[in-house]
Amino acid sequence: MGTLELSDGSVVWYERRGTGPTILDIHGSGFGHRNFAMLTPLLVDSFDVIDLDLPGYGQSVAKGRLGVAEWAGYIAEFIERLIGGPVHVHGTSMGALVATTLAADHPEVLKDLILSCCLFRYDNAARHMRHTWKRGAMDSGMVQVADQTAAAGFSRGFYDRPDATEVLDRLRTAMGSNDPKSFVAGTESLEAMDLSDLLPRLPRTLLLGGDEDQMTPPAPAGSGVGFDTATTIIPDAELHILENCGHYLVLEQPERAAEVIKQFVLHPGHSR
């Protein structure tokens, strides 16, 4: 574990484990580094994994504005100063949009890109869903948001699993430790974004989704842009959809997600 102070005085808390090619994980909205608590242990046998709290989340401190573009700039400086060279980047949900912006605006810090569960432009259903979460965050706090998002974030079959209660408690712990204002700022940043113009500029990219993802479905309504469109625009894109899996795939099916990520990064050209 460590911290790195950036040029504007912001501080990034991070945890680094494992050996091998470096993968940097960027968490979703409402989460900190705990977003990857179930995935990272499955990757450290093959990779040097860096999990962090984005400035404004967890133990990291933001001195400037909070938003997708700002976080991408923070991460670019973090990679340059800590590692000094390009890395593989995995972003999930909001973190996937931070990673998309990072790849387009700071290509020198990236190798391959892994994007799990995101919309590059929200459809109207996604906007309505997030309106209720923002109200929950400010009125009742982040544990309430955890329960709200769980209803849409997991597959129906997940709730029949014997470990469902344990995973839900992990979700509450991960989200409950973060600032509601940071969550709302991140959500509003996402609602205002249309990253579809960035897709032609992305490097080799794995699009990893769940077939029961209600938050960021692989094929959204016409007002949105999702993985179905991205696969036709990104020059070198691979699409992998996990069956019987919802939005929180790094919590619901971490073993399968780790397998797909390893295949993509370590065996390029053989994961299709």
Average pLDDT over residues 82-89: 96
pLDDT digits (tens, 9 = 90+) for 213-266: 999 999 999 999 999 999 999 999 999 999 999 999 999 999 999 999 999 999
Does residue 270 surpass a pLDDT of 80?
no
Q: Which residue has the higher pLDDT, 29 or 160?
A: 160
CA max distance for the chain: 48
At CA 192, angle to CA 240 and CA 99, rounded to 5? 40
201-210, pLDDT tens digit by residue?
Answer: 999 999 999 9
- Say what the pLDDT of residue 17 is: 98
pLDDT score of 135: 92
pLDDT band at 156 (very low <50, low <70, confident <90, very high): very high
Q: Tell which residue, 251, 249, 180, has the closest CA to residue 210.
A: 249
Q: How many CB atoms lie within 10 A of CB 18?
A: 17
In 75-197, beta strands by DSSP E: 87-92, 110-116
DSSP string for residues in 27-47: --TT--GGGGTTTGGGTTTT-
- The percentage of the chain sitting over the pLDDT mark of 90, rounded to a whole number, equals 86
2-266 fold: Rossmann fold (3.40.50)
Q: How far is CA 12 from the centre of its chain?
A: 17
> Which three-class secondary structure state does DSSP give residue 14?
strand
Give the number of residues written for the chain: 272
Mean pLDDT of 66-80: 94
Asked if 40 and 17 touch (Cβ cutoff 8 Å), the reply is yes
Residue 169 reports pLDDT greater than 60:
yes
Q: Positive or negative, the Cα torsion across 4, 90, 145, 65?
A: positive
Reported as a single tens digit per residue, the pLDDT across 31-45 is 889 999 999 999 999
Window from 47-51, 118-122, 135-139, 255-259 with minimum mean pLDDT: 135-139
What residues does each domain of the chain span? 2-266
Q: Is 271's pLDDT higher than 70?
A: no
**pLDDT confidence of residue 222:** 96
Structural tokens at position 158: 């997940």
Q: What is the pTM of this model?
A: 0.93
Q: Give the mean model confidence (pLDDT) for residues 13-28.
A: 97
